[in-house]
Structure 1
Amino acid sequence: RAARITGSPVLYRGRLFVPIASAEEGVGALPAYECCTFRGSVVALNAATGEQVWRTFTIGEPATPRAKNAKGVQLWGPSGAAVWSAPTIDAQTNSMYIATGDAYSEPAPATSDAVAALDLDTGRIKWSVQATAGDAFTMACGTADTTNCPQKAGPDHDFGQSAVLVALGGGRRVLLAGQKSGVVHAFDPDHEGRKLWSATIGRGGELGGIEWGSATDGVLMFVPLSDITFKDPKARGRGGLSSEVGGGLFALRVADGKQAWMARPNGCGDRPSCSPALSAPAAVAAGAIFSGSIDGHFRAFSTSDGRVLWDFDTAREFETVNGAKGTGGSIDVGGPAIANGVVVTTSGYGQWGGMRGNVLLVFSPDGK
């Protein structure tokens, strides 16, 4: 139920691979709702005809009736393990890698909060490695009415971003993924996901930790940190963001997870509800990492030492090419696109207390 596509589909060898996520974690918070039955999945489509070639669910069995909540409403499980971001193709092993979110109800399956390898031809799950066990969570948890919060509530530590595959040299490879726990994990894709290293860069939380996407130049992994914080934790999504906590761009060595540098700019100034959190994905090209912030700033950082090469405050009005009234705001969820000598970003995202807006901005790599 409440299925949605939040990650970009991937086109490869005549097939379109579509990740499926869900908003049932939100609607499942309603005390009269029979939470929950959604199962994350990846669907492979024939790109020419749209015909389904295969579909693999992240949870092997459909949800069945479990306990009832305090109001007598039937609860279901297992559920969740959404695939929030694009799958990662590995031509060498004919595999794709996906990262999954938390469970919405108990019992939390072993494939939630996990990184998994699927066969490209059949969708068969080759292996799966879980980072956080027992993580069952709905948006009822931590609110005034916890009726539909799982009895053993987890920390909501999804993997929201795609896994990143990097060749280390000498035939060695590493699969990297940042989690909402604030931890970056490194797996060995050629030995059934054996854990190579982990590095903690933030405290983690419901909105990260590490949210939508990291980038790499093959030597360093560039990880935006959210750790977005509300002045009143119970006012989640209704403004009141803290300008004092969160944010930071971290450079980790892909070989061992050691930190090379960290940059933590803050452009909030005197804005009443503002956060320096970096929730949006980052992108890298030509010695620069491009990263947008909840504070509305779009910045380019040097890959060598993290210094800010340029900084553009998008939280203002714009004269648009199509004549519509344009206003920038917070930058979240969607990352920058880089192609044909330009860098493109959206600006304006009001959910979770951010600044609303409606513009698509195009820059040269030097910020003009």
Structure 2
Amino acid sequence: MNIWGYGLFGLLTTFLVFATILPLSKVPFGAIRGLDFPRQQYFVLSIILFASSIAFIPGLAGVSLAVLAFVLGAVQLLYIVKFTPVWAKQSVDASDALRRGVDHQVSMLASNIKMSNRDYDALVRLVLERKPDIVMAIEVDKHWVDALKSALGDHFDHWIEVPRDNGYGLLIMSKLPLTEVEVRDLITKDVPSARMRVTLRNGEAFRLYVVHPEPPVMSHDTKGRDGEIAMVGLEAANDNLPAVVAGDLNDVAWSTTTRRFQRLSGLLDPRVGRGFFNTFSATMPWMRWPLDHLFHDPKFRLIEMRRLTKVGSDHFPMWFVLALATTEAEEASPGEAGDGEAFEAKRMIVEEQKRDRGPIGSDWEDD
């Protein structure tokens, strides 16, 4: 290996060390929290560095660097192994009886369509093919609402339209009755979320939260995103109905923020024990991670979860089919919130709600 090879090796190793250590600080700043996202890529990089250390660097230096690469890879694996089939499933599979009883079921299609994307027909075709009970479209503006309403207006009886020109618009289309509908800017002005009661065909009901908090960016803290996710988790935990939280959380499934959300809410992640189901980026295969989520109450059982085909967006759509059972699955738990965790989350929420600022990235989707 020449001097350039050693330099590149040293640079990659140094980057991997800092990218692994800095997120452990839990500092709520975009440049640090964003390093949480590529854990899968870090794991692959650590394997490459491990093999390269043994093959190309002689003596004690090679052994030492191989050990370091092994440790760094093991750290990444601790985060991501839960989202592989070797881990126990968190969401319980539906029984045959629940699979047959369609009146207990709800099918949902969730898609961040990317506001500047104008391939309306791609999403319309997917909806007509899948025939979901509920469609959740994120980042819609008025053009998207008008296009979808024109093509799908006769297919859905209930519509919640929250178009925005800043990349935070929401559209919920449902064949099932939606009542007690609330559209709220939970933390940051012009970053809406929706909360509603959904009534199944058998008369049972659940609460649906559709969210799209701000993304982490290098030059800004993540307290707005983290506060909104925590606030929804606290609400879901205290809801009188079994809850489902869905949307583009702008956070990965293994992050500090998402794991805290699960502990606060008690909701389950169907990815655990099944797979990553990476939804972003649909345009860069080498940089993918799970950003679009669905979490559900332990009373739900999972029938199907699938990543669907591209619709012109930088996100893949997700497909979920759940069945509402009469009892909670006792064996399923995301863990309990630690002492003071709810208090700290509430304090962060109050602090963020007092800040007077616009949403992050509101100009990213300008045509």
Q: Say yes or no: TM over 0.5.
A: no
* Greater helix proportion: 2
Q: TM-score, normalised by structure 2?
A: 0.29
Bigger relative contact order, structure 1 or 2, given CA contacts below 8 A and separation 6+?
Answer: 2
- Bigger radius of gyration, 1 or 2? 2
TM, length-normalised to structure 1: 0.29
